[in-house]
Amino acid sequence: MTIGHTLLGLLEGGPRHGYDLKRAYDERFGQHRSLPYGQVYSTLSRLLRDGLVDVDGVESGEGPERKRYSITEAGVRTLEEWLSTPEKPVANLHSTLFTKVVLAVASGRDAGEVLDAQRQAHLERMRELTRSKREAGTTDLLVHDFSLFHLEADLRWLELAVTRLDQLTKEIR
């Protein structure tokens, strides 16, 4: 997800200040990592430069002036194009875990231990996500389910990798 497209999507609901955009982003997408203010304003500057947002107004108060941003027609077109373009499915063949398994086998270490430790870490993370689903709203439920399904796929790969360790060892050594 790009921050720029996300801010455009948030602005489509109506003009907002940078602070409001950050808060909306954090509430919807920043469950585990909030968006830094500096990134919000640098992204808004790029969107403004590219004609995808306009300054809709400036309010003065006790602190610095607060700019209110709105999405332009070009911004709406850019957002529509981004939303309608499917993401490229990514198959991470060269993941860190895959590398660890191959290197463990190549070095004579027990790759089964590497896989078992990873399996335990995956199961613990799945338990954490499942517990947090009990109190989650719909947005968080979707995020947690997305993560759980990916972890389940990883577990299937871990189980398959265990069954192929002997064959992998013969090929590598």
What is the maximal distance between C-alpha atoms in the chain?
72
pTM of the entire predicted model: 0.67
Please report the pLDDT score of residue 16 as a whole number.
96
pLDDT band at 11 (very low <50, low <70, confident <90, very high): very high
Same domain, 34 and 56: yes
Same domain, 71 and 123: no
CB atoms inside a 10 Å sphere around CB 151: 16
Please report the pLDDT score of residue 119 as a whole number.
92
- Among 63, 84, 105, the domain boundary falls at 84
Q: Which residues fall within 8 angstroms of residue 11, CB to CB, at 6 or more apart?
A: 21, 53, 69, 70, 71, 75
Enclosing domain of residue 152: 96-172
Q: Please compute the mean of the pLDDT values over residues 5-19 and round it to a whole number.
A: 94
Please report the pLDDT score of residue 92 as a whole number.
63
pLDDT band at 91 (very low <50, low <70, confident <90, very high): low
- What's the total number of domains in the chain? 2
Would the pLDDT of 39 be above 80?
yes
- Please spell the DSSP secondary structure of 129-163, one letter per residue: HHHHHTT--HHHHHHHHHHHHHHHHHHHHHHHHHH
Give the closest residue to 52 by CA, choosing from 1, 12, 16, 83.
12
Same domain, 74 and 102: no
Same domain, 137 and 107: yes
DSSP state of 17: E
